[in-house]
């Protein structure tokens, strides 16, 4: 069964550093998303991406965050100048039109 692959599975970074989280979507999927889950809290929508541009973003997705699809296969989330409160599980999801999301297994980001 096709999978969404996320790397790394765990990333530890110092406060103020930049991190890039990577996702390889399912090959024929058209819609790409990032979500995050702070420990013990709800899964929260960050951003959706379609046709090489952001289609929707939440209030969480401020100037600290950016997404891109640099090479037509990877889908990345960059967090500039990380803060302690950015520590969370970050999930990538992809979707082929209305067939429902497929989530990756997540990247656990720990900011120290």
Partner 1 sequence: KQEVTQIPAALSVPEGENLVLNCSFTDSAIYNLQWFRQDPGKGLTSLLLIQSSQREQTSGRLNASLDKSSGRSTLYIAASQPGDSATYLCAVSGYNNDMRFGAGTRLTVKP
Interaction site with partner 1 (CB under 8 A): 31, 33, 35, 41-45, 48, 50, 55-56, 58, 91, 93, 95, 98-106, 108
- Residue 88 phi/psi, 5-degree rounding, is -175, 175
6: left (phi over 0), alpha (psi -120 to 50) or beta: beta
Nearer to partner 1 by Cβ, of 28 and 42: the residue is 42
**Least spacing, CB of residue 75 vs partner 1, in Å:** 15
Give me the residue label for tokens 């550093």: 17
Alpha-carbon distance of 88 to 50, in angstroms, equals: 24
**Least spacing, CB of residue 78 vs partner 1, in Å:** 20
Nearer to partner 1 by Cβ, of 17 and 105: the residue is 105
Is residue 50 within 8 A of residue 100, CB to CB? The reply is no
**Least spacing, CB of residue 106 vs partner 1, in Å:** 5
């Amino acid at each position: 069964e096709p999978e969404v692959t996320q790397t790394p599975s765990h990333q530890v970074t110092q406060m103020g550093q930049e991190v890039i989280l990577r996702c390889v979507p399912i090959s024929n999927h058209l819609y790409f998303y990032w979500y995050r889950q702070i420990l013990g809290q709800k899964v929260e929508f960050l951003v959706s991406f379609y046709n090489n541009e952001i289609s929707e973003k939440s209030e969480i997705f401020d100037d600290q965050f950016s997404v891109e699809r640099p090479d037509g296969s990877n889908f990345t989330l960059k967090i500039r100048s990380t803060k302690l409160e950015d520590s969370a599980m970050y999930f990538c999801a992809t979707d082929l039109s209305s067939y429902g999301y497929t989530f990756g297994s997540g990247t656990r980001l720990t900011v120290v």
